[in-house]
């Protein structure tokens, strides 16, 4: 009882803390800047060029990336049809706790998908189509449709990997799995296109590009499930898309601040930093409000949404073996770019970034870091002091969010899921604490990891 009351007090304090830091600043004035302003900006600068390359190449002229799913070339259209045919067999409302039953269920799902792939996909025609794109000819396969295909193959691979949703223990116990060539072949082209090494999907492929122009999920993992489950799945995907959409003014402000600082116009630089802070606060408030019951139902999310976006397999070609994770919010450009602009140490290593984060996104974050001017500020200049104070407001905004996220993440992840071992989408199966331990005990490593990140946000 005492521990419960203590937990309630902690949550209430955090809520009050967040509301104070996330309160609207309606009296603040900032220049209205957006993606079109950046496109029209007549300047040559590395940070601007890196971001516009990302927008024009991977984003198909937009950000978040534009993705369409109806314009695949004929040889690739069977993939979407196969996902539609398999989706009704993926989800179950009441997962079994019987390992043998689950093993058979997974085998049957994979066999059914393999049969459809063999029957429907002309592998030579599909390869020829992807070769044309790889050569730089986008006429027959526009970038927005390619982004949709990226999502389609990623979601097919995750469906094949887990073969049932919610995820079950017998699938978690697998450490290696042979995939159909019809899924490995196109994925190898997608890896080269986006300059990633991971065999699994990520926040771009599984969430952001998995939405049609009307904001609906194209490759669902919970077809036929309850309204609560399906609305939670949609809300979770939309959260990442909307977060990146709302982040556009932040990227623009950071780019303009860097350019103004290099020109010696510190007053204008300060204006843009304040703009970045105001918009960062709005985004963090949005995420704080949306990543919560009932918008994203805790019980539905942990069992029916998060698990299937994990991976938990190694590749035979890796020496030493590397267990690949899966989708993580840390793969979103917003957090990487803002951390880089503020000079905060990176969360991911080079090899981790190359697994799941596209080359263009890595370039954007690296360029923001290269031109971060925070360490150049002088304590003797009034303008520099004002700029540092505004940058600290952005840092404190991130700290506020990460402090709350640390508490909320463990609470969400520790929701009951008896059919599986404790896991996260990004880290797969967590170290076992024994069946007699409460699930929350298994998530102490997550708490420690998030605490470390919070302490690094300075």
Question: Per residue of the chain (458 residues), what is the pLDDT tens digit?
Answer: 444 444 444 444 454 444 445 444 433 444 557 899 889 888 899 999 999 999 999 999 999 999 999 999 999 999 999 999 999 999 999 999 999 999 999 999 999 999 999 999 999 999 999 999 999 999 999 999 999 999 999 999 999 999 999 999 999 999 999 999 999 999 999 999 999 999 999 999 999 999 999 999 999 999 999 999 999 999 999 999 999 999 999 999 999 999 999 999 999 999 999 999 999 999 999 999 999 988 999 999 999 999 999 999 988 777 787 889 899 999 999 999 999 999 999 999 999 999 999 999 999 999 999 999 999 999 999 999 999 999 999 999 999 999 999 988 888 888 889 999 988 766 666 655 554 455 556 667 788 888 999 999 99
Q: What is the Cα–Cα distance from 404 to 396, expressed in whole angstroms?
A: 12
Predicted confidence at residue 440, as pLDDT, reads 56
Between helix 143-162 and helix 99-120 the angle, nearest 10°, is 140
Q: Taking the model in full, what pTM does it have?
A: 0.91
Q: What is the dihedral of CA 186, 187, 193, 197, to 10 degrees?
A: -160
The DSSP bridge partners found for residue 165 are 91
Report yes or no: 411 and 298 within 8 Å, Cβ to Cβ.
yes
Q: Using a CB cutoff of 8 Å and minimum separation of 24, what contacts does 43-48 make?
A: 43/259, 45/255, 45/258, 45/259, 45/262, 46/367, 46/370, 46/371, 47/254, 47/255, 47/258, 47/259, 47/367, 47/368, 47/371, 48/255, 48/259
Other Cβ atoms within 10 Å of 101 Cβ, number: 13
Q: What is the Cα–Cα distance from 241 to 368, expressed in whole angstroms?
A: 22
């Amino acid at each position: 009882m005492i521990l419960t009351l203590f937990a309630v007090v902690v949550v209430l304090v955090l809520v009050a803390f967040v509301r104070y830091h996330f309160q609207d600043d309606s009296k603040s004035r900032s220049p209205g800047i957006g993606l079109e302003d950046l496109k029209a900006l007549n300047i040559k600068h590395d940070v601007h060029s890196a971001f516009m390359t990302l927008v024009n190449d991977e984003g198909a002229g937009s950000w978040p990336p534009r993705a369409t799913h109806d314009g695949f070339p004929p040889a690739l259209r069977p993939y979407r049809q196969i996902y539609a045919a398999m989706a009704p067999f993926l989800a179950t409302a009441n997962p079994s706790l019987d390992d043998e039953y689950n093993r058979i269920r997974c085998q049957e799902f994979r066999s059914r998908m393999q049969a459809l792939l063999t029957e429907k996909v002309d592998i030579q025609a599909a390869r020829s189509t992807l070769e044309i794109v790889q050569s730089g000819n986008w006429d027959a396969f526009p970038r927005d449709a390619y982004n949709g295909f990226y999502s389609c193959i990623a979601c097919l691979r995750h469906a094949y990997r887990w073969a049932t949703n919610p995820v079950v223990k017998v699938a978690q116990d697998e450490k290696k799995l042979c995939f159909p060539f019809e899924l490995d072949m196109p994925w190898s082209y997608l890896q080269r296109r986006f300059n990633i090494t991971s065999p699994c999907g990520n926040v771009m492929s599984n969430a952001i590009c998995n939405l049609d122009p009307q904001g609906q999920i194209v490759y669902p993992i919970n077809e036929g499930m309850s309204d609560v489950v399906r609305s939670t799945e949609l809300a979770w995907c939309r959260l990442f898309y909307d977060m990146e959409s709302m982040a556009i003014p932040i990227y623009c402000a950071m780019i303009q601040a860097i350019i103004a600082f290099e020109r010696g116009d510190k007053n204008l630089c300060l204006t843009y930093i304040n703009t970045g802070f105001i918009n960062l606060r709005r985004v963090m408030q949005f995420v704080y409000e949306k990543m919560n019951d009932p918008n994203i139902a805790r019980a539905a999310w942990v069992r029916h949404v998060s698990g299937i976006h994990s991976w938990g397999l190694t590749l035979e070609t890796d020496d030493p073996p590397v267990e690949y994770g899966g989708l993580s919010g840390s793969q979103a450009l917003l957090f990487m770019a803002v951390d880089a602009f503020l000079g905060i140490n990176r969360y991911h290593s080079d090899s981790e970034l190359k697994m799941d984060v596209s080359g263009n996104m890595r370039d954007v974050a690296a360029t923001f870091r290269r031109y971060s001017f925070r360490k150049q500020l002088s304590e003797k200049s009034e303008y520099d002091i004002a700029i540092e104070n505004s940058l600290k407001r952005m840092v404190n905004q991130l700290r506020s969010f990460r402090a709350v996220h640390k508490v909320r993440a463990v609470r969400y992840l520790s929701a009951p899921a008896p059919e599986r071992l404790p896991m996260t989408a990004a880290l797969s199966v967590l170290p076992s604490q024994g069946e007699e331990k409460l699930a929350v005990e298994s998530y102490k490593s997550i708490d420690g990891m998030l605490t470390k990140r919070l302490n690094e946000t300075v």
